[in-house]
Amino acid sequence: MHNQIHTSLLQWYKINGRHDLPWRITDDPYKIYLSEIMLQQTQVKTVLERFYFPFLEKFPTLLDVAQSDLDDVLKMWEGLGYYTRAKNLHTAAKKCNGILPNNAFELLELPGIGRSTAHAISAFAYKEPLPILDANVKRILHRYFAIEKRDEKLLWKAAYELFDSGNPFNYNQAMMDIGSMVCLARKPLCDVCPFEKGCEGKSVPLKYPQPKIKKIKPIRNRIIVVYTRNGQFALSQRKERFLHGLWGFMQYEELENNEGKFLGHITQHYSHFTLQADVYISEEDFVNEDGEWFSREEINFLSLSRADYKVLQFID
Ligand code: SF4
């Protein structure tokens, strides 16, 4: 049904596609999996220049991840953000004993692997004929089929309809490239798009998909206290889902006792809230069973959140 489109798509990919990306020239499922997870919330350039290779150097195989402490995995993830991804990667590595299943159905059983990621790993590593549905692909489908509504079910249906099952690898890679290079969110380049002929939304592409209703980010007001004694500092490991496993200075919603000496104020924007915190330093005894004492040098080996790095600047 879409034979002509598939031919133009593959031709476009042959000439314009990013064939040099390291995760495209390997069929090692672990390396593909790692790239998929890192790329979920981060741009290709950042992943490529700062995170992908150092991570693989430290953990050459998924078994190395499985046999490591979560702290070591988080340390290599530091700066990449969305730390739940690293935690899930570690849990998944342990769950499958460092050997990924060879099909999307079983990949889906692992934590942090959703349907599109499972399809991507399986299509790229095992050539399983399955379409993917990441943010870029969604945008193309919305426009190609003129679908205004943001409806996951409808988009999966469209993804299967347009899919070239004879070329799962090249088709999916081409879709990702067109999404990031041609069918741009604000300025789609329809004139050079291989979908131009059949695209139902090209006369008003910005209508598809319908704009998201903007939510106002809540502000979290906190007090951060740097407790210190004998040249050491107290930190605890975060337990909540967000930032789980990272180390940080003591953080409170409010304090009953004297906080100590005021050091300054920090602001940190996260995806779903903004942290506003006054930072104090105190030599008072504190009681907190989660707290552990570290020298300044030892702190360099811990994984900290961006907010805690800002706090660190006050004491350096
Ligand atoms: S023709 Fe335009 S709107 Fe349609 S898929 Fe291509 S770039 Fe997007």
pLDDT tens string, the chain, 316 residues long: the values are: 588 999 999 999 999 999 999 999 999 999 999 999 999 989 999 999 999 999 999 999 999 999 999 999 999 998 898 889 999 999 999 999 999 999 999 999 999 999 999 999 999 999 999 999 999 999 999 999 999 999 999 999 999 999 999 999 999 999 999 999 999 999 999 999 999 999 999 999 999 999 888 888 899 999 999 999 999 999 999 887 778 789 999 999 987 677 789 999 999 998 889 999 999 999 987 767 778 999 999 999 999 988 999 999 999 8
Q: Tell me if 185 sits within 8 A of 136, measured CB to CB.
A: no
Q: Tell me if 83 sits within 8 A of 74, measured CB to CB.
A: yes
Q: Which two tokens stand for residue 307?
A: 């907010």
Phi-psi region of 231 (alpha: psi -120 to 50; beta: other; left: phi over 0): left
Helix ranges (DSSP H) in the chain: 3-16, 29-39, 44-46, 52-58, 62-66, 70-77, 84-95, 104-107, 115-126, 135-144, 152-162, 168-181, 296-299, 306-315
Whether 78 and 202 map to the same domain: the answer is yes
Residue 265 lies in a domain: yes
User: Is this model's pTM higher than 0.85 or not?
Assistant: no
Crossing angle of helices 115-126 and 29-39, rounded to 10°:
140
Is any atom of ligand 1 closer than 6 Å to the C-beta of 190? Answer: yes
Whether 194 and 227 map to the same domain: the answer is no
Identify whether 36 is a catalytic site residue.
yes
Helix ranges (DSSP H) in 147-257: 152-162, 168-181
Whether 179 and 33 map to the same domain: the answer is yes
Q: Which two tokens stand for residue 71?
A: 């702290």
The CATH number that applies at residue 100 is 1.10.340.30
Whether 141 and 253 map to the same domain: the answer is no
Ligand 1, residue 196: give the atom nearest the CA: 1
Distance CA 238, CA 80 (A): 17
How many whole angstroms from 132 Cα to the centroid of ligand 1? 18
- Measure Cα distances from 286 to 63, 125, 232 in Å: 40, 52, 13
Residue 266 lies in a domain: yes
Whether 36 and 107 map to the same domain: the answer is yes
Q: Which domain holds residue 141?
A: 3-207
Whether 189 and 229 map to the same domain: the answer is no
Q: Tell me if 11 sits within 8 A of 176, measured CB to CB.
A: no
Domain total of the chain: 2
Q: Tell me if 291 sits within 8 A of 250, measured CB to CB.
A: yes
Of 207, 235, 250, the domain-final residue: 207
Q: Tell me if 277 sits within 8 A of 306, measured CB to CB.
A: no
| Bond from prior residue into 131 cis (ω within 30 degrees of 0) | no
Residue 64 lies in a domain: yes
Is any atom of ligand 1 closer than 6 Å to the C-beta of 174? Answer: no
Distance CA 71, CA 141 (A): 40
Distance CA 299, CA 246 (A): 12
Whether 61 and 187 map to the same domain: the answer is yes
Is any atom of ligand 1 closer than 6 Å to the C-beta of 12? Answer: no
252: helix, coil or strand? strand
Is any atom of ligand 1 closer than 6 Å to the C-beta of 137? Answer: no
Whether 152 and 194 map to the same domain: the answer is yes
Whether 286 and 173 map to the same domain: the answer is no
Q: Tell me if 264 sits within 8 A of 310, measured CB to CB.
A: no
Whether 252 and 168 map to the same domain: the answer is no
